[in-house]
Amino acid sequence: MEITMAHGSGGKASAELMSKVFGKYFHNNILDRMEDGAVLEACGKIAFSTDSFVVSPPVFTGGDIGKLSICGTVNDLLMMGAVPEYIACGFILEEGLDIALLERIVESMATAANEAGVKIVAGDTKVVEGRGGLYINTSGIGRIPEGRNVSAANIKDGDIILLSGNLGDHHACILSARMGIDNSIMSDCACLGDITKALFGGGIDVRAMRDVTRGGLGTVLNELAEASGCGIELDESEIPISSAVKGFCSILGLDPLYMGNEGKMVAFVPQQDAEKALALMKTAGNGKNAAAIGRAVKGKGVVMKTRLGGTRTVDVLHGEGLPRIC
């Protein structure tokens, strides 16, 4: 069975899609009221974020667009020090989409939301003409515990930068799928709540966090350097990258520093907390390959000490980071 324009008509086909696909996997006391909007309890500071997901192919090694859509927004909230609580999702489905594939993706969203401890409390579906693709937007709300203040503005020179694991897995996985290259590279798509829980639970004064998504580590660190008014010094030999991704990048002329990730983060922590914070990060499943990769310094921009002892200025990503000709 495939999605047709009738599934977006608001009539019987829409109702069937709601009950047989979305209703089958999305359940909670708020959503089940089936009203025009979710009514939520909130007090104190909240973090609010939104993200849209258009990845192709929609299913890849290590995840799918559904899992990605939950993890992406959950991670954005976590990076603000929030405890993610509620998600709203909007689906744009193209005519011709296989309903079995949609069901797999919806199930995957429900699983990821459940694991992250968030409730999907609102949603919408539209159908458009197309070639069987789908796009998902998720928005999320998280509660910021009393006294917690995580922001790029807090970064001070001397702070140590922790990276939660290997760079480039998601980007290399997606490119491999698009190029028909058979390898063992899996997307790192994951919610990073286990890491933030470990850090805050361990009493670390986390200054700033950022998930290392599009644009890669190079771009993210430049953004943080600019926002904080500090410079950043990296040590290339400390940056974890799997040999598979290294080889993949070398063949295609890509730079792991600019490869997208979907389950990696950087945290800036005071120097005196760094050792403990790194140990805590490593106790989390998603942080087992974590490393201290550099520090904030006086100045501006991002500079990396290379493996050979040279220096390299790390700029933001320009353009799309496309595979080269030779």
Partner 1 sequence: MELNKIIDFLKNYDGPQLKLMEVCGTHTSSIARSGIRGILSPKIKLIAGPGCPVCVTPAAYVDRCIDYSLRENHTLVTFGDMMKVPGASGTLSAAKGRGARVELMYSPFETISKAERNGETIYVVAAVGFETTAPAYALLVKEVKEKNIKNIRLVTALKTIAPALAWICENEKGIDGFICPGHVSVITGMSGYGELCEKYGRPFAIAGFEPEQILACVYDLAYGLSNGRCSEVHNLYKSAVKDGGNKKAQEVMAECFREGDAMWRGIGMIENSGLYLSGKYAEYDGGSFGLNEDLGLPEGCRCGDVIVGRINPDECPMFGRGCSPENPVGPCMASSEGVCGVWR
Q: Count interface residues toward partner 1 (CB under 8 A).
A: 27
Instruction: Give CA angle at 81 (137, 65), nearest 5°.
Output: 25
Task: Please state, in angstroms and rounded to a whole number, the distance separating the CA atoms of residues 127 and 45.
Answer: 36
Residue from 32, 35, 275, 315 in contact with partner 1 (CB under 8 A):
315
Integer CA distances (angstroms), 250 to 151, 168, 259, 326, in order: 35, 12, 12, 11
Binding piece for partner 1, criterion CB under 8 A, among 22-30, 33-41, 111-119, 315-323: 315-323
Nearer to partner 1, 250 or 272 (CB): 250
By CB under 8 A, tell whether 320 contacts partner 1. yes
Nearer to partner 1, 276 or 305 (CB): 305
Indicate the residue type of 170: H
By CB under 8 A, tell whether 131 contacts partner 1. no
Sign of torsion, CA 34 37 42 45? positive
Q: What minimum distance in Å lies between the beta carbon of 322 and partner 1?
A: 3
CA proximity to 225, closest of 319, 303, 135, 144: 303
Nearer to partner 1, 44 or 319 (CB): 319
Indicate the residue type of 78: L
Nearer to partner 1, 43 or 324 (CB): 324
| Of residues 198-237, those binding partner 1 (CB under 8 A) | none
CA proximity to 134, closest of 100, 171, 172: 100
Binding piece for partner 1, criterion CB under 8 A, among 5-13, 160-168, 263-271, 302-310: 302-310
> H helices within the chain, ranges in order?
12-17, 23-25, 65-78, 99-116, 169-179, 193-201, 216-228, 243-252, 274-283
| Of residues 156-175, those binding partner 1 (CB under 8 A) | 175
By CB under 8 A, tell whether 27 contacts partner 1. no
| Of residues 35-54, those binding partner 1 (CB under 8 A) | none
Residue from 54, 100, 153, 322 in contact with partner 1 (CB under 8 A):
322
What does the H/E/C string look like for 94-124?
ECCCEHHHHHHHHHHHHHHHHHHCCEEEEEE
Residue from 12, 27, 33, 178 in contact with partner 1 (CB under 8 A):
178
By CB under 8 A, tell whether 152 contacts partner 1. no
Q: Are 21 and 106 in contact (CB under 8 A)?
A: yes
Task: Please state, in angstroms and rounded to a whole number, the distance separating the CA atoms of residues 279 and 275.
Answer: 6
Q: What minimum distance in Å lies between the beta carbon of 265 and partner 1?
A: 24
Q: What minimum distance in Å lies between the beta carbon of 155 and partner 1?
A: 25
| Of residues 249-278, those binding partner 1 (CB under 8 A) | 250, 252-253, 255
Binding piece for partner 1, criterion CB under 8 A, among 113-121, 222-230, 281-289, 309-317: 309-317
Q: Are 140 and 48 in contact (CB under 8 A)?
A: yes
Q: What minimum distance in Å lies between the beta carbon of 109 and partner 1?
A: 29
By CB under 8 A, tell whether 312 contacts partner 1. yes
Q: What minimum distance in Å lies between the beta carbon of 29 and partner 1?
A: 47
Q: Is 40 helix (H, G, I), strand (E, B) or coil?
A: coil
